[in-house]
Amino acid sequence: MKQIAVIGAGTMGNGIAHTFAQNGFKVNLIDISEASLEKGLSTISKNLDRMIAKEVINETDKAETLSNIATFLSIPEGVKQTDLVIEAATENIDLKLEIFKQLDEACAEETILATNTSSISITQIAAATSRPDKVIGMHFMNPVPIMKLVEVIRGYNTSDTVTETIMTLSADLGKTPVEVNDYPGFVANRILMPMINESIETLYNGVAGVFEIDTVMKLGMAHPMGPLQLADFIGLDVCLSILNVMYDGFKNPKYAPCPLLVNMVCAGKLGVKSGEGFYDYSESKKAETISIQFSK
């Protein structure tokens, strides 16, 4: 397996492309926007520069990594003669189903189709294709080049052979693959999102402030960042979407999103990407200044 295609040049897509290219794979990075592709390549280049500054790689490594990436604006063109396609588009079920229908038509019969979804059913996505045995989840963590975990999710019909292939491939990337079954939220978000949601409920109910909640979890539970800071980093809209998927899937009220989270998303306060969430990022991308809404 040497030829990979990645659908989507956003945060996760360019991180996945970077990781494969740095490990010697040829990568076709596909997006509908030339501007998105240029931004994705720019991000990869900047991240490689950071690795050079830390003496993890050298300039030759950077040049080789970038030379392994080709860009495409068309799915049919970009997935020709690929061994594996990884979809990393927006977390929207209708969009993903449409993409997988296109992939099923455009890809060779033996091509494995993977999705980087963080919560949507692999089985449902696979049902949009004629090859459900070759559809699997590869849930990378952000930032992809650094984080070691790959959550490998088996759909109801995913074959043992495909699962073993993806587990081995993930290990070849220097990652630690963990095999899980296809239920809403899988493992990572089924555990993480209720914690984030409960942290927002704790703030909503006036138990403690943003700084206090995050400090308790960082110092008391040895978390590298507090849950509210992490929610800002992930994107509050993404957190809400995942909680809604789990709530719809389990019909259990413990997954119902906090009203404060819903209101913040409606107000466009999405975290780092919008410049404000629980923290204010107008002057720094670091979570140093509490949002004025919560600093009173």
Active site residues: 118, 139, 151, 189
Q: Do residues 27 and 70 make contact, with C-beta atoms less than 8 angstroms apart? A: yes
The angle formed by the CA atoms of residues 15, 16 and 17, to the nearest 5 degrees, is 90
Of the CA atoms within 13 Å of residue 198, those in its CB half-sphere come to: 9
Q: Do residues 11 and 46 make contact, with C-beta atoms less than 8 angstroms apart? A: no
Q: How far apart are CA 171 and CA 148, in angstroms?
A: 9
Q: Do residues 209 and 199 make contact, with C-beta atoms less than 8 angstroms apart? A: no
Give the strand order in the sheet containing 69-72.
Answer: 69-72, 26-30, 3-7, 84-87, 112-115, 135-140, 149-154, 176-181
Cis peptide, bond prior to residue 143, ω within 30 of zero? yes
Q: Do residues 178 and 147 make contact, with C-beta atoms less than 8 angstroms apart? A: no
DSSP reduced 3-state for 221? helix
DSSP reduced 3-state for 190? helix
Q: How far apart are CA 207 and CA 214, in angstroms?
A: 13
Find the largest Cα–Cα distance for the chain.
59
DSSP letters spanning 242-285:
HHHHHHHHH--GGGSPPHHHHHHHHTT--BGGGTBSSEE-SS-S
